[in-house]
Every structure is written in C-alpha cells, then in structure tokens.
Structure 1
Amino acid sequence: MFFENVVKVGGHLGHTTRTWHPKMAPYIFDNRDGVHVLDMVQTEIYLNQVKQFLSRAKQQGSTVLFVGTKPQASNAIELAAKSCNAFYINQRWLGGLLTNWSTLRRSIALLNRMDVIKDKGILETLPKKLKSSFYREHARLDKYLGGIKSMRSIPDVVIIVGQDKENIALNECKKLGIRTITLLDTNSNPELADLFIPMNDDSMKAIRSVLQQLSFELAKA
C-alpha cells in the first residue's frame, strides 16, 4: 500500500534519459517516453535496509540530522525531524557547518542567548533602532540554524535529500566519517552515499512519504 501511494505521486519517476547517471542503471526498471522509471521493488528493499540501520543507530544513542534545502524538500525535512526529535537544516547549508563545527557552535550559542533575551522581555527596554537590529539578526540566525540550536556536537548520521544540491554537506560528512543516507534520483551517484533509497527526489509528496517512514522508525526506536 505504501509504495502504491508513492507511485501515485510520481515517486518512481526519475530524470530524462539524457540526464541520468550510468551508475544508477541497476536501479532502473524501464524507460518510458524518454524518462527513466525506477525499480520500486529495489526501492522497498533499500528502504527497509535503511529503516533497520536507523533503528539500530537510535538504540545506540546516535544523533540524526536531516538535510534538504531545495523547495520540494524543505517543509518535509522540518516535519520529519521534529516528529522524531532529530535535527534539521532546510534553508541553506552553511559551508563548514560540520568541518568547522567549533566556529558554527558559537553562532548557535548566540542564537540561544538571543532566545533567552526575547523570552525574558529584555528587548522592551532597548531603543527602537537597536531592537530592530536585534530582530533582524535573530531572524537570520534562526532561519539557518534554528533546526540545530540544541545540537551539542556533530551528528552520527545525516539523511540527505538532493545529492547534487547538498554536495557540500555530503563532502563534509565524508571527510569526518559521518554515515550518510541519501534519497537517490536517477541523476545521482550511488557510490557517494553510504546508504541510499533509489527514488524521485523532486516530488514533494514522495519525499514526504519516505521521510515519514524514516522519522517513524526513529521515533519508535
């Protein structure tokens, strides 16, 4: 039933045959009107493998970060992470977020201090110009770091939607030895991911459905 629903929203449709990555060939079922169709039997197998991995990781106390900044994934990333108390980046990946964690951590600490200032009503005592400047800076930090403001160290596992767009995040994970899970469309390279799920990574509904499966696994573990 789950994969029937994913197919209904185009989760099985890849990119055109002109823009595919040859190493995705083993996961492609057919070519219809110049568009590759993914093998959903394999998609289900790989999804189950990922769910088993996440269940074990969670039981071992691993922390998980969801990453997906393209418009089709942004909302689903936030919802999935919040539903299982994980962390997320859904607006923009700041270069060095993981490899230069000590610096980014200072920005996160600033955001948390600004939250405290807001909550205590201290802003009401400030001049209008200073208050406006504070709100602008707080909004900027919260937009990019709000999903990780309680993250105390680099994550153990990173779930990525949009391999090409999130290549900086992927490279940082590889450099640090962080395990990655990627939703892989037909234009992606499966060799760059530790674990992956072959599927359309542009359909908002398909992304949401699969991320719900992963977040549910994390929440119940």
Structure 2
Amino acid sequence: MAQVEYKDLLDAGVHFGHLTRKWDPRMAPYIFMEKNGIHIIDLNKTLASIDEAAAAMKGIVRSGRKVMFVATKKQAQEIVTEEARRLKMPFVTDRWLGGMLTNFATIRKSLKKMQGIEKMMKDETTYKSLAKRERLTVFREKEKLERVLGGIADLTRLPAALFIVDVKREHIAVAEAKRLGIPVFAMCDTNSNPSDVDYPIPANDDAYKSIRLITLAIGKAIEEGLLERKQDKDDQRLQDEEEAKRAEDVKAAQAEGETVADDESSPVAVADDAEEQED
C-alpha cells in the first residue's frame, strides 16, 4: 500500500481546520492546537485514520462489492469524478437525491427511464419522427437525468460503503447509509461530527489539495483491493483447472484398470489359465 507521509499532509494543508468558534467539540480528540483563531488538526491522527480506512476499504473491494463516492462541493467534484471513473465505481457529484439509498427501487426506475431515452435517441428513425419541441424536451430530460444519476448508471444494487468528502454537507447521505447499516468513510473537518461515520479521516475538507490527497489515498487502496481480487480469481481458476485435471487422470486410471481386469477375466484368459493348470 502506498503510504501517505506526514510531509505530504503538511504540504497539502490537511492540518488547517475551521475557525475556533465554528468547531464541533466532538472533534476535540483530533485537534492538535489553536493558532491565530484556527484549529490545527493532529496529522498523526490523520495518518493513523488513513491507514485504518485504507485497510478496511481494501477488504470491502476485495470481496467484490462497490464503493460509492459522494462529493457535491465544487472544489471536490472534478477529482472525485475522475478517481471514481478510473476505478469504475459509482459516484454522486452533482446533487444527492433524498432516498438515493433508502428508496433505491425508485432510483432504479429513474435509471431505466434514462436508459430508455438513450436507446430511443440512438434509434434515429424514432427520434427524428418526433416534433422539434418534443425532441428538445426529451434531450433536456436526458441531460437532467445524466447530471444527477449519470455516476450511478451501472449500479444494480446498494453500494457496500460510501466515501464522503464533507459529512456536514452530505448529512442526508450519511443518515441514509447509517439507517441501512452501510459503513461510511469520510473526511471530517473541525466543524464536523466524527461519531456519525464509521471511519472518520480528520482533514481539511475545503482545500482542493487536501481533498485530492485523501481521495487518491483511498483510491489507491481500492485499486489494490481490485488487483488482489483479480489475483484471487486467477488463483482459484488455476486451482479448479488442476483439480479438474487430477479428476480426469484418476478417471482415466480407473478406466484403464477396469480394462485390464476385464481382459484377465475374459473366456480366452480363463481357458489359457485352465490349460496351464492341466499342463
């Protein structure tokens, strides 16, 4: 696992928290000190939290399940979208729809509707037969659905975990995940409540460099989990092939043994044995 170093966190400004008057007392264990009216996050705690979160994340992905990335704040959208697409994981970066997890059946209907529109638009005969105004309406509806649901278009079941950049901003997503028992990995600034999430990572969730560093660290853990899963599959396939070959060898040996036994008990063989005994 690629280790994030103390200096990397320092350079990215991960240690800068919010103004002291905006803090959440529940973040006290992760705060190192106060400087110029700003809380400074303890980067040693951040390093330990990253390692713990990365190990847990790798285990989830290795089991073949999906992790949903959630980051709707402007400075996080680009990096989160890029990393989620690279890892082929679902993501939400435009707006969190209420019930996206707790009412997933309805969300799937919207996804099917979006796929139906895409299919219709690919059929030029059907699409061009519509009036100009109708085509414009269909196009706008498709754009709206893609903007909100495009990142989860391939999601067929609930994700196994959530990675969230700002728990205070994404409180609805956190509440839904908590209700369904889905573990939440999240960046928690000094104005957040770390007890709401399973794997809090104390860090500046406003600076682009800080968001990028933490997101890439989690992304690296997911990538390693995917590679280990692929290796497990390859090892299992080789094992299955070896067992199948051994079974074939045993079957062939048994068939050969039965042939020899049949030859020894044939009438000719019995007659030959009788002649030898008379002689």
Q: TM-score, normalised by structure 2?
A: 0.76
In structure 2, distance between residues paired with 1:214 and 1:118: 37
Residue 116 of structure 1: aligned partner: 119
Deviations 1:143-184 (A, max 9, x none): 000000100011110111111111111110111111111100
Q: Contact 2:9–2:43 (CA<8 Å) still a contact in 1?
A: no
Residue 82 of structure 1: aligned partner: 85
Task: Please give the root-mean-square deviation of Cα atoms over the aligned residues, in Å.
Answer: 1.3
Residue 66 of structure 2: aligned partner: 63
Residue 94 of structure 2: aligned partner: 91
Letter of the structure 2 residue corresponding to residue 49 of structure 1: E
In structure 2, distance between residues paired with 1:33 and 1:204: 22
Specify the SS of the correspondent of 1:212.
Answer: helix
Q: Which has the larger radius of gyration?
A: 2
Deviations 1:91-147 (A, max 9, x none): 100001111111111001111222222334343332211111111000000000000
Q: Which residue among 147, 150, 158 is the counterpart of 1:154?
A: 158
> What count of residue pairs does the alignment treat as equivalent?
221
Q: Which residue among 138, 162, 167 is the counterpart of 1:163?
A: 167
Deviations 1:10-42 (A, max 9, x none): 211000110111111111111110101111111
Residue 15 of structure 1: aligned partner: 18
Q: Contact 1:111–1:142 (CA<8 Å) still a contact in 2?
A: yes
Q: Contact 2:12–2:213 (CA<8 Å) still a contact in 1?
A: no
Unpaired runs of 5+ residues, structure 1, are none
In structure 1, distance between residues paired with 2:123 and 2:219: 33
Deviations 1:42-100 (A, max 9, x none): 10111011110011111111211001111121112211211211100001000011111
Residue 218 of structure 1: aligned partner: 222
Specify the SS of the correspondent of 2:46.
Answer: helix
| Richer in strand (by share) | 1
Specify the SS of the correspondent of 2:163.
Answer: strand
Q: Which residue among 6, 28, 32 is the counterpart of 2:9?
A: 6
Letter of the structure 2 residue corresponding to residue 167 of structure 1: H
Residue 274 of structure 2: aligned partner: none
Specify the SS of the correspondent of 2:201.
Answer: strand
In structure 1, distance between residues paired with 2:16 and 2:120: 48
Letter of the structure 2 residue corresponding to residue 156 of structure 1: A
By relative contact order (CA 8 Å, sep 6+), the higher-ranking structure is 1
Q: Contact 2:9–2:210 (CA<8 Å) still a contact in 1?
A: yes
Q: TM-score, normalised by structure 1?
A: 0.95
1:37 partnered with 2:40: yes
Q: CA deviation at 1:2?
A: 4.3
Q: CA deviation at 1:5?
A: 3.1
Residue 253 of structure 2: aligned partner: none
Letter of the structure 2 residue corresponding to residue 197 of structure 1: I
Specify the SS of the correspondent of 1:178.
Answer: coil
| Richer in helix (by share) | 2
Letter of the structure 2 residue corresponding to residue 92 of structure 1: R
In structure 2, distance between residues paired with 1:118 and 1:47: 44
- 60-69 or 143-152, which moves further after superposition? 60-69
In structure 2, distance between residues paired with 1:165 and 1:38: 20
